[in-house]
Structure 1
Amino acid sequence: MQYSQYISGKFRQGSSEINYEVINPSTSEILGTLQFTSAQDIQEAIQSALQAYKVWAKTSAYDRSVKIRQIANLMYTRVDVIAEKISLELGKPLAEAKKEVQTAAEMFEWASEEARRIYGKTIAPRNPNMKQTVVYEPVGVVAAFSGWNAPAITPARKISAALAAGCSIVMKPSEETAGVALKIAEIIHELDFPKGLVNMVFGNPEEISNILCESTDVAMITFTGATSIGKSLAEKASKHLKKLTLELGGHAPVIICEDVDVDKVARAAVVSKYRNAGQVCTSPTRFLIHESIFADFCEKFTAHAKQIKVGSPLDGQTQMGPLKNSRRLAAIEQLVKNARELGAEISAGGERLEKLPGNFYAPTVIIQPNLDVDVNHIEPFGPIAILKSFTSLDEALQEANRLPFGLASYAFTQNFQYIQRISNEIESGVISINDWQASLPETPFGGVKDSGLGTEGGVEGIHEFLKIKTVRIAS
């Protein structure tokens, strides 16, 4: 594939002298070379987005809806092509990759429908000769940043909501999965949107973020990624009081009560935990299991984890692919080493799969690690599950809320009183009870505490890209 920038409606090479190699994590082979963007390129992207915004913001909601729906329709026809690109660049098994593309297309479809439903309101005046209304307007040019772990979903979520609201966007997807984002750009390019409405720039993250955050022509920053980077972006954005949404890291707890079907929950838990090799911000990680079923659950979870077929993402039998890069591999190895040194039991995995050529690591299960173990505090973002027992629901809730993260949480029980308490007391942006799905196109998604600011998805996610104007007219 020819990797490139997408600026002002054109696919072209960046004007920086720096070249970046996109690597296949399954084979360590080079998929292609990407020439980085320069400061001049980024400024051009901002200016083209500004000009496109002036046109798009005046486009009727109906027409915006029709155009965005066309993106979804084309994406549905290209599921296989985009999914293969995800498998090659990220290492996600092909079946999972197809589901991701399907969801990304649904995000455009949902946004197209909601573009027609951005309603204002009338407020009863104190004076009968006065009219008071509230209208919602697009915020302006949006700067968006996304990581590599959901290379179709995350750009789709940001682009679709921005376009539905009437905004333009300068998107910096991850260079590591640049080809997936460019597939979305190709679809937009074919549909004859205003030139510059959607731009994609790839390059030095700090340089790009500095320029976008400092530009007075950029009205909003939206970021998905690590908490530390999100806080840095928030500081930069605050200098110009830009609107901001942040979807940051998590360390999701799972409370499993004594009344569950142990084998059923353990089997499904393994599937959810090792999806995308655990490289998912909402990945269930800290499994808190009632002491009465703890031994049985650990045995069944471990057995299912050991049966996972790890291999090439293009093999239809593969259930888990590689880690994305050597950085993640080294991080996982260090977390497991630390757990071993502090005496934690590792009932499955705990080792790199040397027989495979890429960044492969075995699905790993750590049982009852004490609080000194690093993985109790650090989001693994990889194929590590932590299994711990609890005696009372109070104890489980305390542990679930112990960390400064609150993105996604899960619980399994049929006890109505437990469900009420868990729903009310867990500190998390999303709580999924008796189910493993944390977000859908139609539901709001965002974290609390160090897991984020603002919301993506659903009607609420589109409203993040709008500003409120009160209009008072006296007759």
Structure 2
Amino acid sequence: MLDDATQTYGLYIDGAEVGPSSGQFFPTEDPYTGKVWGQIARGGAEDVAQAVAAAKRALSGEWSKISPSARGKLMRRLADLLIARADRIAEIERRDNGKLAAEVVAQVRYVGDYFHYYAGLADKIESHVIPTDKAGVFAYTKYEPKGVIGIITPWNSPLTLTSWKLAPALAAGCTTVIKPSEFTSASMIEFAALFAEAGFPPGVVNVVTGFGPEVGAPLVEHPDVAHIGFTGGEIAGQKIYELAAKGLKTVTLELGGKSPNIVFDDADLDQAVKGVVSGIFAATGQSCQAGSRLLLQESIHDAFLEKLIAFVSTAKLGDPASLETQIGPVATKPQFDKIMGYIDIAKGEGARCVLGGKARPDLGPQFVEPTIFVDVRNDMRIAQEEVFGPVLSVIKFKDEDEAIAIGNDVAYGLAGAVWTKDLKRAMLVTDKLKAGTVWVNNYRATSFTSPFGGFKRSGIGRESGINAVHDYLETKCVWISSDLEVPNPFIRR
């Protein structure tokens, strides 16, 4: 358990925790109590420059001399250290963002599994010999680390979403500078300290905390940063893409979603109810892949809604540290205000609230009841815009064609789900939905082995899985002459 004393966190640069160049810190609050529990270093452009310089030195220094197999051993050592410290680091993350204790402990341990996976991949990035149509030459490809990687992550799952970028980047041989959300920086600083303990050379992993304009923008714009990996909101992602484009940097962007959870009349309704609840109310709805649009076939609409309301009504809201709690607080005050604003917008548009719809100040300053709206049209803002909270919009449909049309009629394409016992229907709908992940008779299953990312305005690129490592590699083609005599270029043959 953490004590009640205020914790102070510096930056992590070149293998050590250091103070910010400004000398300034800012408070971080516990979403459950609203009380300040820590002070976070307020980094700036000067700190970013120092971190990038450290990462650049490491890239051409000791880190570059470590074999891929040795990189894998370091990553396995790190993973074991993280798993051993999971309870403490999870408690820090829980205190920062209000996520349920049981969920965040499992997430932190699973981050260790991510590093184990990519540790095994580090020495399996194989080059290829290329058969060519040119005589007298031998051609092959080789892969080289892209360089210094900038990683910018949000507040909902800090270590998990950082690991999706950091683990493959390290497996590729890159070095990194990480900018966590200003709302949830503490667990990343705690995690960063494990790299030195695991034996990583200084400068391979650096963390600069602070605010977007003061840290994020200088990191994206720095000429020595080769690639940006970002998870967050659509507007911020668009700005990062624009800044990166000025430097011709590559990007991986995992952005917003408005995912359809489609329940057909032949589905196992009891199982589908649990899947719908997991899809939208887990993590208090603060998940990019949240199934925030429930599409119900007309023939089961009323019966399913009755089951759903009864089930959600039993949810226990309260202290995220308690293992009995099922829904915790909203992570930040701005997000709480945004959610309450969208509830008002939905009511103003004519959607009917059949459950929740209110704040719960008796539980804490940032609690929102699990909320369900019916009579929702897909052109309403509540059905088109990402709320990022425990708010579900229920939309009726007649048949498969209408379900597909409604499911795709949104700017996003991150995820979706289909609930049916009909294999033909499942395959038809999964083929037609424009989304990067489609679940059939389940929701929110992810793995380090499988790619994750979105279509349309949900982002660019894929994270996790074998192919993710190639986002952090450059491909070089080498041509070796096997003919000892170079042809005279002025003699035509």
Q: What TM-score range do you get, normalising by the shorter chain?
A: over 0.9
1:10 maps to 16
2:429 is matched with 422
Give 1:302-381 correspondences, 5 Å limit. 302-371=309-378, 373-381=380-388
Partner residue, 1:73: 80
Q: Secondary structure in 2 aligned to 1:457?
A: coil
- Name 1:389's counterpart in structure 2: 396
> In structure 2, how many angstroms separate the alpha carbons of the residues matched to 1:407 and 1:371?
17
**Partners of 2:396 and 2:16 in 1: how far apart?**
56
Amino acid at match of 1:161: P
Q: Distance in 2 between matches of 1:54 and 1:320?
A: 47
- Determine if the alignment matches structure 1 residue 47 to structure 2 residue 43: no
- In the alignment, the residues of structure 1 paired with residue 221 and residue 290 of structure 2 have an alpha-carbon distance, to the nearest angstrom, of 34
Using the size of structure 1 for normalisation, the TM-score is: 0.97
Partner of 2:36: 30
Instruction: Give the structure 2 partner of residue 256 of structure 1.
Output: 263
Give yes or no for the alignment of 1:412 onto 2:419.
yes
Q: Which residue of 1 aligns with 2:126?
A: 119
Greater than 6 Å deviation, 4+ residue runs: none
Q: Which amino acid aligns with 2:210?
A: G
**Within 1, Cα distance between the matches of 2:477 and 2:149?**
22
Aligned counterparts of 1:57 and 1:465: Cα–Cα separation in 2: 15
Please state whether the residue corresponding to 1:176 is helix, strand or coil: coil
The 8 Å contact of residues 408 and 429 in structure 1, kept in 2 or not, is answered as yes
Which residues in structure 2 correspond to 1:143-162 (within 5 Å)?
Answer: 143-162=150-169
Mapping of residues 187-198 of structure 1, within 5 Å: 187-198=194-205
Specify the alignment match of 2:291 in structure 1: 284
Report the equivalent of 2:488.
Answer: none
Which of the numbers 424, 429, 435 marks the counterpart of 2:442?
435
Alpha-carbon shift at residue 184 of structure 1 (Å): 1.3
1:338 match: secondary structure: helix
How far apart are the structure 1 equivalents of 2:419 and 2:474? 39
Cα deviation code 1:184-221 (max 9, x no counterpart): 10211212211110000012212323322222211111
Which has the higher mean CA deviation after the structures are superposed, 85-94 or 52-61? 52-61
Indicate conservation of the 8 Å contact 2:98/2:330, yes or no: yes
Tell me the distance in 2 between the aligned counterparts of 1:370 and 1:469: 51
Asked whether the 8 Å contact 1:108–1:157 carries over to 2, the reply is no
Greater alpha carbon shift after TM alignment, 363-372 vs 422-431? 363-372
| Corresponding residue for residue 179 of structure 1 | 186
Pairwise CA distance, 1:369: 1.5
Point out the structure with max Rg over C-alpha. 2
**1:298 paired to 2:305:** yes
State yes or no: 1:92 paired with 2:99.
yes
Alpha-carbon displacement from aligned partner over 1:67-114 (angstroms, at most 9, x marks no partner): 011111111112211221122111111111112112211111111011
* 8 Å contact from structure 1 (residues 324, 359) kept in 2: yes
Superimposed CA distance per residue, residues 23-43 of structure 1 (whole angstroms, 9 cap, x where no aligned partner): 000000101112311322111
The alpha carbon displacement at 1:127 in A equals 4.1
Q: SS state of the match for residue 90, structure 2?
A: helix
Q: For this pair of structures, how many residues does the alignment match?
A: 475
Q: Report the alpha carbon displacement of residue 167 of structure 1 after superposing the two structures with TM.
A: 0.1
Q: Can you give the 5+ residue segments of structure 2 that lack an aligned partner in the other structure?
A: 1-6, 483-493
Q: Secondary structure at the match of 2:299?
A: coil
TM-score w.r.t. structure 2 length? 0.94
1:9 positional shift: 0.9
Percent of pairs identical after alignment?
Answer: 33
Equivalent in 215, 228, 250 of residue 243 of structure 1: 250
2:489 is aligned to none
- Per-residue CA distance 1:218-257 (angstroms, 9 max, x = gap): 1111111011111111111111211111010111111111
